[in-house]
Amino acid sequence: MTCPPWPKGKKLVHLDLKGAPPRVEYLHKLIELFSQLGVDGLLVEYEDMFPYEGELKLLQATAQPAYSREELLSMQEFAKSKGMEVIPLVQTFGHMEFVLKHRPMWSLREVPYCVGTLNPHREEGVRLVMEMLRQVVKLHPGLNTLHIGADEVYILGEGEESKQWLGLPGRTVEQLFLSHVTKVAKAIKATWPHMTIIMWDDMMRSMSQDTLKDSGLVGLVQPMLWDYTPNLDVDKTVSLLEKYCSAGMSDLWAASSFKGSTNVYTCVPSTQRHVDNHLQWLKVAASLSAGINLQGIALTGWQRYDHLSVLCELMSVALPSLAACLQTLVHGELSAEAQSKVTETLGISSVEVEAMARTSADESLFPGRRLAELTVELNSLLNSEDIRMFENDMFVRGWFSPYHRKRKMVTPLITMQIHSQASAYLTTLQEKVEAVRKEMVRLYPNSTAQEWIEEHVSPVMAPLQKITEDIRACVKEMVP
């Protein structure tokens, strides 16, 4: 089914910098590509890559240096020169792991065991959030729009102070959430009256219109409704947006996904899965009443599910997906015309990164293509049954079982063949890994390459290495 193209508003690409932050030169190349793909703005989630100062300096990353002030200003200048707005996303309630993990901030958690949720009762919590925002706004000259996060505020209401607050008649967790967000939004408006404030919508989904109307939040924020699934429920999503509109929040945003939402540890994205998500969003946009003022859509590209989880797909391997999703929005479907626009722009033969053979030697239109190709090759090798299931091989199970290893009683001829096969796999993997590492450190910090390899490669290589070591030890006992 073909839908009308995305109706109006901005198309933002989300840059999640809490993992695999691109080197500045690579960031500029990505922005150049985004502009060619028709992107209107960047939704930038800095987390610990922002150069916080003073008391907040402890929030800066230690695995690699945070971006410098000069680098951030040059990134913004470059984006503006391409006609793109830069909107910072700063978490102010939930997903504050990068702040609350630090020992001096522990007392500001809602409960000790939840690293992400801020205690909404402490004035120093609001002061902390406002100081973070002040530093971010200051380093974004001419800023007009801020995203204050506020999604997935886990365990809210479980802290001792919250329990006391909720003990009074008529008080609910919904009101507790709304009171904190309203306090933050009012403080922002008092400091920067011109500022447009966006927030994630998920904590408000189950709230009634009356609850929202009575919160004091109407007129202060623009909810951004996110759903990243390929089978997004169109009717349910439309009715949610209509509810927000009826409550007085008629300026609304959508958020889709082009990477980082399939699985917490996905390494290579499926373009079709993300295109399907955008097709559902097109159906939503086509079904909305005239009263809803759709401000735009943010195509999210999560790099981690949260600050303390593993890396999702890197940006380089997700560019075909991003380009295909953008073209789907422009054409109302991923038509032949839309697909050829993607393949011509990126110089590839397919919108699926796993099938994207080169159509040109030039990499200029696909920054990071070599890394994407190597990642796909290595991922295929890592997931091959021969390597994954090596310990279940007939010869390993039959002639080199844990029983044999423990007693060091083996058939040398067969175990040496097993050793030879395991060593060959290890050599092939090591060659591919070195090629990936070399390419990755050109585009990302060394810490990203180290983390990616430890996450995806080490668990697969470790059993093979163990087998080769054990065989050497056993053969020594059996062969003169």
Enumerate the active-site residues: 152
Q: Note whether 464 and 425 are within 8 A (CB).
A: yes
Residue 365 tokens, joined: 């239109």
Q: What is the β-pairing status of strands 145-147 and 10-16? A: unpaired
Q: Note whether 54 and 62 are within 8 A (CB).
A: no
Q: Which of 351, 349, 345, 350 is nearest to 365 (CA)?
A: 345
Q: Note whether 164 and 106 are within 8 A (CB).
A: no
What value, to the nearest 5°, has the Cα angle with vertex 180 and ends 175 and 181?
A: 100
Q: How far apart are CA 129 and CA 125, in angstroms?
A: 6
Strands, sheet with 222-226, edge to edge from the N-terminal-most edge strand:
85-88, 41-45, 10-16, 293-301, 251-259, 222-226, 196-200, 145-147
Q: Note whether 258 and 301 are within 8 A (CB).
A: yes
User: Quick one: angle between helices 446-456 and 369-382, nearest 10?
Assistant: 20
Residue type, 467: I
Residue 36 tokens, joined: 């060619």
Q: How far apart are CA 329 and CA 147, in angstroms?
A: 23
Count, residues in the chain: 480
Cβ burial of 153 (10 Å; 0-12, 13-18, 19+) is buried
If you compute the radius of gyration of the chain from its CA atoms, what whole number of angstroms results? 25
Hey, which bits of 47-141 come out as E strands?
85-88
Q: How far apart are CA 373 and CA 453, in angstroms?
A: 16
Q: How far apart are CA 363 and CA 319, in angstroms?
A: 13
